[in-house]
Amino acid sequence: MVGRLMKVNAYTTLDLVDCKTRTADGETTGLGVANATSAREDPDCVRFQFEADGQPEGVAAHVDELELAPEQARELAGALETHADRVDAAQGDDASD
Amino acid sequence: MPTDVEEWKDDIYGTDIRAHIERFAEEGWDSIPDEERDAWFERFKWYGLYHQRAGQESYFMMRIGTPNGVLEPGQLRVVGEVAREYATGPVDNPEFGDSWADFTTRQSIQLHWIKVEDVVDVWDELESAGLSTVQACGDSWRNIVGCPVAGKDDHEHVDALETVHEFQSEFKENDRYRNMPRKWKVAVTGCVEGCGQGEINDLAFDPATKDGVKGYNVRVGGGLARNEPRLARDIDVFVPHEKAATVADGMSALFEAYGNREDRYSARMKFLVDEWGTEKVRETLQDEFVDFELQSAGEGFRDSYSYNAGRENDGHDDHVGVHPQADGRNYVGLNVLVGRMGTEDVLELAALADEYGSGEVRLTQRQNVIVTDVLDEDLEDLLAEDLLVDYEPDPSPFMRGSIACTGTEFCSLSIVETKNRMVRYARHLRDNVELPDEVEDFHVHLSGCTASCAQPQIADVSLRGMKTRKDGEPVEAFDLGLGGGLGENPRFADWVGERIPADEVPGAIGNVVETYKREREGSETFRDFVERHDEDALEDLVEPEETSYEDPMMHNTKRTWYPYAEDDDMAASPAPTDRNDVPLDQGDDAAPADD
C-alpha cells in the first residue's frame, strides 16, 4: 500500500465518503476523501479532488482532480443540491420518525 | 504574484509588530478590526502567538522558544508562574487540570488560553528571566533544535551548544531574517548519536571531521508536513566548527532569495531542493551566498546514530533515565507523557532542579525533560522524590515512547483528539501489552492530521488522524504506519492500516506486538522485524480489535468548541471573551462588557 496521497486535515471538505471504483473488470466499494479547493492566491479554477483509500488490483494509487471553471463548479454544486433534495425527500418518506 | 500573506508581511512584519500588539493588549480583543483579523493573526505568529481554533476566539497559544531546549536556572520557575496566572481558560482539561505547559517536538514550550490583554505582562515576566517568544512561529528561523545535552554530553564530537548560541544571536535576536518565504527549521547536532534529528529539518548541521578539523556536514531540505515527507539531503559541504554561522547565513539567504513566495504550499526548502537537486543548491550557495571555498563533506558519525533509531546498539534512543555527563555529574531524563506537565508539577520540578542540580533543565524532541548537573551523591534522593512517580526516569516503553501533537483540543488543522487519547493508549498498552523483556524502546507517535507535528513518520507505530464509519456513525480513526525511524538508515513509515477506529488502535498495536514476539528472529528489534516484511505482509500484521480499552472521544471532536466541555456544542462556546474569560457581548443592543 502506497498510503494516502492527499493531505487530509480539518479543512478537507469530506474526510469520509463512500465510493465505488469501477474498471472494465469490475467494481470495488470502499471509503475515500473528497476536497473542493482553489489556489490560495490568484485562483484560476476550482479544484475538486478525490482519492479512494485503496485501489483494485492493477490500479495504481492516485488522486483524481477536476479543474472546474466557476460556472462548471456552480453547475456541479447545483446538480449536487438537486440530488441531495431528492435523496432527502426519498429518505423522508421511509423515515420512521 | 505574491501571496496575500506576503503583502501583509510587506506592510508590517518583524519587530514592528510589537508596538501594535502592545496597543491591542491595552485596548482589548475588540480593538482588533474584524476585517483585519487574518492579517494580524499572521503577524502575531512572528511573536510566538497563534490564535486558537473556531469556538476559542480571542484565545492564543503562546510558544516560548528555548534554543536547544535549554532552560537556564530560574527560567522553568518563571514559565510555571506565567502558566499558573495566565494559561488558564474557561474550562478544564479532565486529565491535566486548569493549566499546564506543553514541551514540544522542537524543544520549546507552548502555553494555551492566553489573552491578548495579558500579553505585555506575560512578556515582561518572561523577558525578565531571559525568555522570549520572538520568531517562535511565523516565516522565520524557528526554535533551533539539537541534542538536548549539548555541551554536557560525554559523546560529543563538537560543542554544538556554542554553535546554537551563535546562531541564536546572529539570526534570531534581530530582524535579519524577519521575512523568509516560509518557516525555517534548523538543527545542530554535536553528539555522535544523532539526537538533533537533522534529517527532518530544513537545514541540518551534523558532526564531522575533515583533515583533522572538527566541524559539521551540512544537509538541507528535510521536513514532514502535508503528506510530503523528505529527509534532509547531503549537499557535500563540510564547515569547520567556528565557521558554521557563515554557511547557516548563506543557506538562509539562499532560501530567502529563492524560496517560493507565490504559493505557500510549495514554499518549504524541501520543494526547492526537489526542484533544483543538491548540486545546484551547492553551486548557488557557493556562487552567490558565501565568500570562501566550500569544502566537500567530511567523515561523519551516522553509523553510530542511535537516537529514535529503533536498533540494537549501545547508544540512546532517547534521553530518559540517569546518564553521566562529561564533567562527572549526571543528567536525569524524565518521561513527560505527551509532553504536558501541569503547572504545579512544573513549579515542583523547577524546585527539584534547584535543589539537586544547578537549576537548569533541558527539553527534548521527544517531549521529555531533563534535570542536568546532578552529583552522584544526590541521585538517590532525587530519584526518591514523589514527582518522579509521575515523571519516571524508568518508565514502561509505551509510556516513554509516546508523542502526541496538540490535536482538536486547540488546533484548527487536526481531525481528532490527540494528547488525552495518547495518554489513555499509553496506559492501556503499559497495562495490557507485554514487550520482550529486554526491549526498552517502543515509539508511538500520534498526529491529528497530515501536518505531522508529532513526527508520525519516524516511529515504530505511526498514527495519523482520520475518520471512519463504525456502527453506521462517523467516528475518529487513525491511519497506521509501521517501521519508521532515524539512525544510520533513516526511513519513513509504511502506511499499512487505514481508518482504524480509535477504540481499536490499542488492539491493533497489541496484535502486532504479539506477532512480533512470536515471530522475531533472535533479539531483533521491532523496527528490524518490520523491515523484514514487505508491504503486503505488513498489511496482514495490522488487525484492529476492540479490547478493554474504551474511548470517550469517538465522536467528531473538531466540531466541538472544546472536546472536554460538558456542553461541547459549538453554540455553547463562551468565546470570544474578555480578559477574565467573560463572554463578550456580540449583539448590537447589548450592554458593554465589563473589563
Interface predicted TM-score of the whole assembly (ipTM), two decimals: 0.91
Answer yes or no: are the C-beta atoms of B81 and B125 closer than 8 Å. Answer: yes
DSSP for B201-244 reads: SSEEEEEEEETTEEEEEEEE--B--TT--B--EEEEEEEEGGGH
Answer yes or no: are the C-beta atoms of B238 and B217 closer than 8 Å. Answer: yes
Interface test with B, best of A14, A15, A31, A35 (most B CBs within 10 A): A15
Question: Is the CB of B449 less than 8 angstroms away from the CB of A6?
Answer: no
B203 band by pLDDT with thresholds 50, 70 and 90: very high
Q: Is B122 helix (H, G, I), strand (E, B) or coil?
A: helix
* Residue B484 neighbours by CB distance under 10 Å: 26
Measure the CA–CA gap between B363 and B176, rounded to whole angstroms. Answer: 27
Q: What is the pLDDT of residue B589?
A: 45
Q: What is the mean pLDDT of residues A5-31?
A: 93
The one-letter code for the residue type at A71 is E
Q: What is the pLDDT of residue B62?
A: 97
Q: Is the pLDDT higher at B200 or at A39?
A: B200
Contacting residues of A for B558, CB less than 8 Å apart:
10
Whether residue B590 is predicted with pLDDT greater than 60 in this model: the reply is: no
Helix (H) or strand (E) holding B26: helix B17-27
Residue environment code for B327-360, b if the CB has 16+ CB neighbours within 10 A, otherwise e: eebbbbbbbbbbbbbbbebbbbbbbbbbebbebb
Q: Does B32 touch chain A (CB under 8 A)?
A: no
Please, which residues bridge with residue A52 across strands?
A32
List the single residue in B265, B415, B468 with the smallest CB-CB distance to A8. B415
Question: Taking CA atoms, what residue in A is nearest to B5?
Answer: A41
Q: Does A96 touch chain B (CB under 8 A)?
A: no
A54-68, B207-221, B468-482: lowest mean pLDDT where? A54-68
Encode pLDDT of B296-326 as tens digits: 999 999 999 999 999 987 788 899 999 999 9
Q: What is the mean pLDDT of residues B169-185?
A: 90
Q: What is the pLDDT of residue B135?
A: 82
B593 band by pLDDT with thresholds 50, 70 and 90: very low
Q: What is the pLDDT of residue B444?
A: 97
Whether residue B587 is predicted with pLDDT greater than 70 in this model: the reply is: no
Measure the CA–CA gap between B445 and B430, rounded to whole angstroms. Answer: 15
DSSP for B462-524 reads: EEEEEEEEETTEEEEEEEEEE--B-SSS-BPPEEEEEEEEGGGHHHHHHHHHHHHHHH--TT-
Contacting residues of A for B467, CB less than 8 Å apart:
15-16
**Which cell goes with B190?**
554535536
Please, which residues bridge with residue A31 across strands?
A18
Q: Does B265 touch chain A (CB under 8 A)?
A: yes
A88-97, B89-98, B202-211: lowest mean pLDDT where? A88-97
Question: A97 vs chain B: nearest CA distance in angstroms?
Answer: 18
Please, which residues bridge with residue B420 across strands?
none
Question: Taking CA atoms, what residue in B is nearest to A41?
Answer: B3
Whether residue B509 is predicted with pLDDT greater than 80 in this model: the reply is: yes
Encode pLDDT of B342-395 as tens digits: 999 999 999 999 999 999 999 999 999 999 999 999 999 999 999 999 999 999
Q: What is the mean pLDDT of residues B116-138?
A: 93
Measure the CA–CA gap between B430 and B432, rounded to whole angstroms. Answer: 6
Q: What is the mean pLDDT of residues B256-278?
A: 94
Q: Is the pLDDT higher at B174 or at B257?
A: B257
Q: Does B38 touch chain A (CB under 8 A)?
A: no
The per-residue pLDDT of chain B, averaged, comes to 93
A93 band by pLDDT with thresholds 50, 70 and 90: low
Which stretches of B129-225 are DSSP H helices?
160-167
Q: Does B524 touch chain A (CB under 8 A)?
A: no
Q: What is the mean pLDDT of residues A30-45?
A: 92
Measure the CA–CA gap between B14 and B447, rounded to whole angstroms. Answer: 30
Contacting residues of A for B449, CB less than 8 Å apart:
7-10
Parallel, antiparallel, or unpaired for β B473-482 and B494-501? antiparallel
Which of B247, B266, B103 lies closest to B171 in space, CA to CA? B247
Question: Taking CA atoms, what residue in B is nearest to A13?
Answer: B415
Which of B224, B214, B107 lies closest to B159 in space, CA to CA? B214
Whether residue B586 is predicted with pLDDT greater than 80 in this model: the reply is: no
Cβ–Cβ pairs < 8 A, chains A and B: 74
Listed in sequence order, the residues at least 6 apart from B93 whose beta carbon sits closer than 8 Å to its beta carbon are: B100, B409, B420, B564
Question: Is the CB of B498 less than 8 angstroms away from the CB of A4?
Answer: yes
Answer yes or no: are the C-beta atoms of B456 and B447 closer than 8 Å. Answer: yes
Parallel, antiparallel, or unpaired for β B340-342 and B330-334? unpaired
pTM, rounded to two decimals: 0.93
A79 band by pLDDT with thresholds 50, 70 and 90: very high
In chain B, the largest separation of any two C-alpha atoms, in whole Å, equals 77
List the single residue in A6, A31, A41 with the smallest CB-CB distance to B4. A41
